[in-house]
Structure 1
Amino acid sequence: MKFMKNIKIFFLFFLSILIFPLFIFFKFQVGITFGSTTTGCGEYWGGDWIINALCTVQDETISVSKNLIITGTGQLELKGNTNLIFGFKYRKPITINNTANPNTLTAWPVLVRMSTNDLISAGKMRSDCGDIRFGDSEGNGYSYWIESGCNSADTRIWVNISSIPGGGTKQIYVFYGNPKATTVSNPREVFYVNSIYLETRDCSDSALCGYTDSHSEFDSLRIANRALHGSGYRNAINDPWDPFNTNSDYYWSRYRFLFIANETTTYCFGTNSDDASEVTIYPCDGYGGEHSCGEHDVVAYWYGGHGSGTCGSSGTRGCRNLQAGQGVWIDYAQSEWGGGQLSQMCINTTTGFPWSIVNEANFPYRLYARKYTSPEPTVTVGSEQSNLPQYIYIYSGGKLYIYPPAGINKP
């Protein structure tokens, strides 16, 4: 009896092995329907996702992301930052390396330099770089501002990163390849608005500060890293003394800001100081080093030892042609040896704008400042990757619909 019982158990087990695959086949194959690959059931390139005859599912959630919803009218809605992943064909990894700095950097602008002319010529990116976006693998998006160089081998983009770990690295991605996307480049979401960064430092070296007679001597002061009196953000370059030290002799001031032109015209720059001063335009604000992006462009200066004069007529003025929306990084330096003190900068235009002191009231939303640290985090852009999603699954009415991404002919 025990033998017969074992035979029966074995027979039932063997029968179940034969029947179960057939059950799976008949039970579930009927319930799996593949969507058409010709009209993009598994694609999204911005705007509405049109559902074709084989994609009649409505009001169902796509299981790969809780942020993707098909509405009752047959349109795909994106919730949160999901468009960073599902709206763009390509991406490149970007590694932000902060291992040399023990400090965690919060809401921090970093400079990304990448080639876009090759991507545009290959038809992978819009000619105006309007489909550039930044995000991470968790679906977080990051604000950015394209400084210069769209459709060139050196496109410079500032990206506002929410947090960069101290002594560590952070990986983000640049996304592109969405012909329907339009630019969201905006300096107001990356930098301090209506702000100028100021540092004042000791300058008791008579060879450089008594008096400062050239741009090379001001550069020596920038590199020397002398004792810091103080630093902070201001809304004007018009200080009659060292704001961070009650003893306003033997110091030098360094004001740094981004100036964005609001019209295409010729802008002229002037300085007024006691003692020496200069106005220079920096390529990319010297991110990573004083001359990391090229030499400075000295546009105005008043070197040597002297009292104050009149901004716009004292010293040597200079002019540059700027396009509307173009940004230039300006570094204003002033040194004081003894006696009276003054740091003052002014701008005018050839279209009739008079000489005006650089401040928030005269140039609203045209003055921006970034954050500084030493050393700056480094940025490395990796190789291109496909940003196509994996198969998208939708469960509806007891059926499992599987939609492939673009470029895949069948599931």
Structure 2
Amino acid sequence: MYLSQTMITLTLLLLLTGTLVYQTIDIHREMVLNEMKASSVDLKSSTVEHVVNVALPKIFNKALNDAELEVIERYNNGAQNPFFNNVSDALNFIKERTENLTNAYLENISEEYSKMGYNFEYTPIKITNITMVDGFTFKINYTFSYNLSKDGVFKTKDVNSYQYCTVKTILDAYHYVLLSGWSLKDWDYRKMIIIHENSGKNLTDYQVLIKLNSSNFNFSKAKSDGSDIRFTYLNTTTNTEKNISYWIEYWNSTSENASIWIKVPYIPANGDAIIYIYYGNSEATNESNGDVVFDYFDNGSKVSTWNVNSSAGENQSDGNPAPSYYAYANSYMYKNVNLTTNKIITFNVKTNGSGDFYFLCNNTGGGQKYTIGLGGNYISGFANTTSWTVGDTPSNGFNAMSDTWYKFGIVINETKATLYYEQTTDSSPELPANTNGMYTISNNGGYIGLAGHNETTWWDNIIIRKYTNPEPTVNISNQTLIYISPSNFVEDSNSPSIIDMLAGKNENTWGYGIKLVE
């Protein structure tokens, strides 16, 4: 194979750095099957040549991608020397990989023909020359031969042809080196998320809701249950990323909607925090963990940590989802969660009678000042939730429909408490923008409590998190970065790039990295 050094200097870099990940060499299978419907041996032979000619650009790009991944894999495994010591090494790898992939593709054609009663034999394809046409196009010369026969009709041909392979436009093509920090080298995609602080306060370990949908996230690139997603926080001072905790509240890849809570280490007052969501790793397992994300997290399975009175406890067969807590008539349970102001409490609840949720109480949970009444029970010191108002005197509690799960939330700041509720048809109901339900409060204690008045009330998914007003806003980038290199490679202006290497400045320096936009 002949290849001019001058011809490959710039463009081969772009090829090496501008390739995409392909999951299979059977790139045009549907096209193959359609064109294989031709009945005569002559038409079948023409189809073989046409299919190879059309498929070759895709195969060539995959070979380039494999070359990139080989370098990265050796680097990550601690190899002492570069995978490609010189230009010839790189070209030989690309040539051999293109040949192997194309021959495997010819084998697929042979199998399809065999199903139709044809006998198809071939000699392996050989790449004889690679020449540059322009900055993004290469001419690939190749040869192979084949014999095709059916019912006594034979066709033999020696193919000596070529194809033009054009590389996709590259957003960035730099020399990259690996940072010393943590890396998600096995993830294929990432998006940037910018979280803006609106209250004028520095926020530490603040829980933020990330809502994904078809307009800001490609669910087909992630696992169907979302178990491969990961989040990192960018330290803009050191330009390093660290993984952060998350909890998947809701994930539906069919409807393409998801709600995920993340714990952000630091958001500067009136400033931005940069978060990355990674996805696209079929081997990843779920790391969703509400206990780590929230100040308090209880999915109805921790009854042993509560003080339980009479007929209350844990229900293993009912919940949102199961298990959950329950309290029969004249029963209650309570727990010290060290509840303070500047917090939000959320929980799911349903009832076939009436019950109460207590907060900022001192211990037992019975007859406390701050309660939410369910099922029309008269309560003291809180809201008639249907009109979003609050008063000091007793008022009617929330007249919930029987056996229907609702989501309640209580916002507690320094001087006011605000209540909101919604049925759970929305995976993560938001705090209403204009809420008049406020009540001047004084912290009476760090306990929460659950109580039943008549028949039974159930509670589930009790969560306490930090709160500031107004809360941070979330902006999810429309661009998806595809990282063939590990995600936290950065440009190194002091080391030779691949352009330099192919031009002869080969100093065995690592850094064959790329960045593309989907």
Q: TM-score, normalised by structure 1?
A: 0.45
Larger RCO (CA within 8 A; separation ≥ 6): 1
Larger relative helix fraction: 2
